[in-house]
Chains A and B, each alone.
Chain A
Amino acid sequence: MLELEHISKIYNPGTITETCLFDDFSLSIEKGSFVSVVGSNGSGKTSMLNIICGSIPVSAGRVLIGGQDIGKIKEFERYRSIGRVYQNPALGTCPDLTILENMSLADNKGKKYGLGTGINHKREDSYRAQLKELGLGLEDKLNVRIGSLSGGQRQAVAMLMATMTPIDFLILDEHTAALDPKTADVIMELTDRIVREKGLTAVMVTHNLRYAVQYGDRLLMMDRGRTVMDRSGEEKKKTSVQDVLQMFNQISIECGN
């Protein structure tokens, strides 16, 4: 269970550009659920992810995991139980390291990064098998620099790396937005498979309404720091892209656009 309790977030407090994004925002996410989050730019989607991960501080309120306040826990420490994939494929991998080196690094998450050999050759076959499942032909490129791969290939490897070791939460920040439609579909399928297989609690921010409707078991729409739509279970299954789009237009009209 992941809970945001009475969160408020004020950017640039005390200055002329002071903006209040969240004012008493609360949300709770059940263990094992897959939540899609949509909303216009500046509605607070990414800020919400950043607050969960501890990338930005909150002005007030608490973040709880399993009932425990994690407010004091540093960003990097929170990632022990969180995997994250960013919009920019470059952020999830090291461009100058090979696929093998990248995967070895990710495979060691949660353990000590000591003076043992960085690459465990015994695991190579396992890496190759995981890459083969992607169907992108990467299994023969273990010793290729990641930087020379395409954005889609990099994002696929990033996805594998983020979920290689046991984690509880998967944070997806528009992770298909920079990809072409076909590659985006591949990554989305992969995401869904991994989330189901590993029983992860996933929060996916996306601008793709089709993905939001098709995947996940809960759909949130955010607007100016509030949740304006929250559907789960049967209600979510009945929700169509049309319904979401209609809601989108409605909040845009309220904004005066």
Chain B
Amino acid sequence: MLDLLISTVTQGCIYALLSYGIYITYQILDFPDLTVDGSFPLGAAVTAVLLTNGCNPYLTLLAATACGALAGLATGLIHVRLHVRDLLAGIITMTALFSINLQIAGSNLPVERTFDTIFTAAPTMAVLGGANLMVRKLILSGILALIGKLLLDWYLKTKSGLLLRATGNNAALVTTLARDKGAMKILGLVIANSFVALSGCIVCQEQRAFSATMGTGQMVFGLAAVIIGSTIFKRVSFVKGTTAALVGSILYKACIQVAISLGLPANLLKLITAVLFLLVLVIGNLKKEASRHAGA
């Protein structure tokens, strides 16, 4: 039972990085970014290849992040410079990335035990050597999720971050501030997909494998996490959007974990993800209706 709890929170923390990405595109930029389903496995593919070639596992974090940034850049350029609609721009990049990921790592690439991951590498062992692998995974994932959160919180308070928030809130204002709103959208997509690919990188190290299909449904997962989080903390103004995304991510992983413990076949996982997401949306809408009537 404790093991299950630890692994659920670990998963939630790793996927929280993905949720931060969705928080940027969906919540801040109001951009339904399907690139995620491609940039997530891209991060994993790059990581799997680098690890199996003996690369330093900590460096893969940076490499995956950079690749995610490129994926976001591609979607941004397609949308802003080639004037393709937001949803379609993401789908184009996602589809292209499927082939690119196959080129990078094939359809499946296991990372054998002979190769170190961030959870087993010497520096990690030097600090956390006393704990078993599971606890190490929990602690390290928690730290990474926290660093990601603090970084994003910091960024959103900078001038650039403020302008990014303005871009999603009122793009016309950004133009009258003599700034290119298109460039801001691209920047947002770059940052978001960096987080997503970083998440994919850590998932790959955690499960020691890349598979070409691991991106499917990740955007829906991230959306659900962000919406659950923001719904829970709607009335608590001091809770930041990033914190909400982190909590939402852990809760959503827990929901799925419960479904599996109840005997749900793994093949039905995505179906459950979709149904849960639908439920989240419907409940959110009902709440909105209720508060509108109450307010009127």
Contacts and interface: CB of A to CB of B under 8 A. Distances in A.
Contacts of B162: 97, 101, 104-105, 113, 118-119
A84 interface: yes
Interface of B: 155, 157-163, 165-166, 169-170, 172-181
B161 A105 contact: no
Contacts of A108: 159, 177
A39 B175 CA distance: 27
Given A76-B179, A113-B159, A114-B159, A91 B173 contact: yes
B170 A77 contact: no
B180 A76 contact: yes
Interface of A: 74-80, 82-84, 86, 90-97, 101, 104-106, 108-110, 112-119, 162
Which of B155, B159, B166, B172 has most A Cβ within 10 Å? B159
Contacts of B169: 94-97
Given A86-B172, A94-B165, A95-B169, A117 B158 contact: yes
Nearest 8 Cβ contacts at the A-B interface? A118-B162, A94-B169, A79-B178, A80-B178, A113-B159, A113-B163, A115-B158, A76-B175
A114 B176 contact: no
A99 B136 CA distance: 44
Given A94-B170, A96-B165, A105-B166, A114 B160 contact: yes
B66 to A, nearest CB: 19
Q: Is the interface of B mostly helix, strand, loop or mixed?
A: helix
Nearest to B154: A115
B124 to A, nearest CB: 30
A115 B154 CA distance: 9
A122 to B, nearest CB: 15
A76 B158 contact: no
Contact of A116 (B158, B172, B174): B158
Nearest to A106: B177
Nearest to A83: B176
A78 to B, nearest CB: 8
A79 B177 contact: yes
